[in-house]
Chain A
């Protein structure tokens, strides 16, 4: 307890939990009380944001070098394992807190408009509030188990919200897929926790990070295994190769959910975890290379798939996977501040892109609903020319797509550039990072290309929605465009968080995070780039982005597109990309089918039916019956027989006793 406003930190998750309880109650009692739900749902988030601001101001006033830890109650006291339910307030968790509550508030406001007509309105806001609660527990938790509670909780809310429209089997299956893929990652997280406890003897962040350098040999097998298992957890939660396939399917949920959970906050939990454990990763160079390599590879791989998707949300989903790859490239390289910086700016522009696409989908859905048509409201082949109907949405989407492409001076330029520069700088020490840098640069080119493709096909060229629907196309209500504009402002100005010294900025975020990152950074070999090399890298990155945008603008002809229902199949390589490199099919053949076969034939038909049922259960009964049949001749019912046996027995005993 510091006696300052930082002590109020518990209020932020408490508000979100309160929102869940109230909205959950309303969902049961009076599901149509939408005004009440809107006020509670968005209100608690704004309150949490206000708490975050107050805490932030107070924390800046204190400016402690050590994290402030609030222990509320003893949670798991078992022998030497002592886990308290405790929150940790430090520079890193505060950045996350601000991002979650600010972007979360805007998305809650947007949802008020987007979900207005939905019969599950109260349930939706209850889930969304619960998600924010768990997300705050995740970033505020002061130990691995508390963080894990949030980690699992956000997974649960993600599952609930992906399958929000559960009456459609495809949506429910998408939710299950997300849950199961995450389970694989969670296994890694738990094994890592067990190993940490086994080798360090504690699970509190401060104790672990204080004792790890003594308890574990740097670069040794133990620390490498721990960090690789942690990273397995990250690949599940943050949708990296090889566990990324759930995220595109997660687009089955409502679009604001995609914006909040599957773009801005939950999927960045893995990045946060690596940043939190940056000391452990810095001690394990192999793991760091794996993190950076997987990140760079994912960034490029997902970007190639995004090139050929027609579903506007799928493009953004693969774009999210790709951008998360950048963040892992950053934190794997040791540029923790760069990764968190990209996390924050990505939260702004990707939330904006998703909400913008939500606004587009909302307009198309309404138009199709008007004419009772069953066309796909998310297919870009059914869009086109929407800039005329939705000028606000088109403008903010342009800002966001230029930001994600890395055009200065928007937010994405600074953060992406910092990541690529960090990878290049580490390449001078370990040349493999040059490869990662190249992959990242190539992904940047593709990013600019597919984002421009999305903009062209959605907003330019002739409209392909349909003759009858065109009069119904118009801009969304202010409750939806308002958050878009605010996010656009954040996207424009977000770069100011961390303007590098190259442009005479003060690299605020970098210095702010130093208390968290310095112990890890001390272990990582860095050769600082000269200003001329940095300028060269910036030049390469910007030229790459411009080439991507101009290339897309010149190559793609929206006039040639036809609506989705009459569109031809792709051929050749385009078809491979359209079908996502057939990764789902490969996983199906490699894992799902063998597992189903093994379960059905071996486990069910052989082990369960033959061994358990036939041999064990029925076998025991048959054995008892045979034993009874063998012994029934002893039971004559004649007292004389029994007495004779008895006498023989007595004689035998006497004979034994006397001889």
Chain B
């Protein structure tokens, strides 16, 4: 069934995103993994819209809009961090812990 396949792909994509966020150190890659998770969710919305209702498709637009805004802000932050630290590795960003 197409719905089932779509949901399985979505789950795989989401898991990949989570694994990426957890395992990678590079902030840009992590950022891309976050986008991957968002798109996995989008895929679920669209797939389920066929059976449940058109609301899912509408939601996808909201998610994409927010993702765009997030990308703008997130990339700006990463850029600022890079200027400050000459690195985008999260291992170097541990100011929350003193010393």
Contacts and interface: CB of A to CB of B under 8 A. Distances in A.
Contacts of A647: 18, 22
B90 A640 contact: yes
B32 to A, nearest CB: 15
B94 A638 contact: yes
A658 to B, nearest CB: 14
A548 B22 CA distance: 110
Nearest to B22: A644
Contacts of B23: 640
B33 to A, nearest CB: 10
A639 B97 contact: no
A599 B93 CA distance: 58
Nearest to A651: B18
Given A643-B22, A647-B22, A637 B90 contact: no
A635 interface: yes
Interface string A637-659: 11110011001000000000000
Contacts of A167: none
Contacts of B18: 647
A636 interface: yes
Nearest to B19: A647
A637 B22 contact: no
B47 to A, nearest CB: 19
By secondary structure, the A interface counts as helix
Interface in A218-234: none
Contacts of B96: 635, 637
Contacts of A638: 90-91, 94
A637 B21 contact: no
A637 B99 CA distance: 10
Nearest to B93: A639
Interface in B15-35: 18, 21-23, 25
A655 B18 CA distance: 17
B95 interface: yes
Interface residues of A, number: 9
A647 B22 CA distance: 9
Interface size bucket, B side?
A: 10 to 19
A635 B22 CA distance: 16
Nearest to A636: B97
Nearest to B23: A640
Contacts of A640: 21-23, 25, 90
Contacts of B22: 640, 643-644, 647
A49 B97 CA distance: 84
Contacts of A639: 90, 93
Interface string B83-99: 00000001101111100
Contacts of A643: 21-22
For B23, B25, B93, B96, which residue has the most chain A Cβ atoms within 10 angstroms? Answer: B96
A643 B19 CA distance: 10
Contacts of B97: 635-637
For A638, A644, A647, which residue has the most chain B Cβ atoms within 10 angstroms? Answer: A638
Nearest to A632: B97
A635 B98 CA distance: 10
B4 to A, nearest CB: 18
Interface in A613-648: 635-640, 643-644, 647
B92 to A, nearest CB: 10
A636 B91 CA distance: 11
A635 B93 CA distance: 13
B94 A636 contact: yes
A276 to B, nearest CB: 75
Contacts of B94: 636-638
A641 to B, nearest CB: 9
Contacts of A637: 94-97
B90 to A, nearest CB: 5
A640 B18 CA distance: 11
Nearest to A639: B90
A495 B91 CA distance: 107
Contacts of B25: 640
Nearest to A647: B18
A637 B93 CA distance: 8
A644 B94 CA distance: 16
A637 B23 CA distance: 16
Interface string A460-493: 0000000000000000000000000000000000
Contacts of B95: 637
A156 to B, nearest CB: 59
A639 B26 CA distance: 12
A638 B91 CA distance: 7
Interface string A52-70: 0000000000000000000
A257 B91 CA distance: 86
Interface of A: 635-640, 643-644, 647
9 closest Cβ pairs, A-B complex? A637-B97, A637-B94, A637-B96, A639-B90, A644-B22, A635-B97, A643-B21, A638-B94, A647-B18
12 contacts: A636-B94, A637-B94, A637-B95, A637-B96, A638-B94, A639-B90, A640-B22, A640-B90, A643-B21, A643-B22, A644-B22, A647-B18
Given A638-B91, A647-B18, 8 more contacts: A635-B96, A635-B97, A636-B97, A637-B94, A637-B97, A638-B90, A640-B21, A647-B22
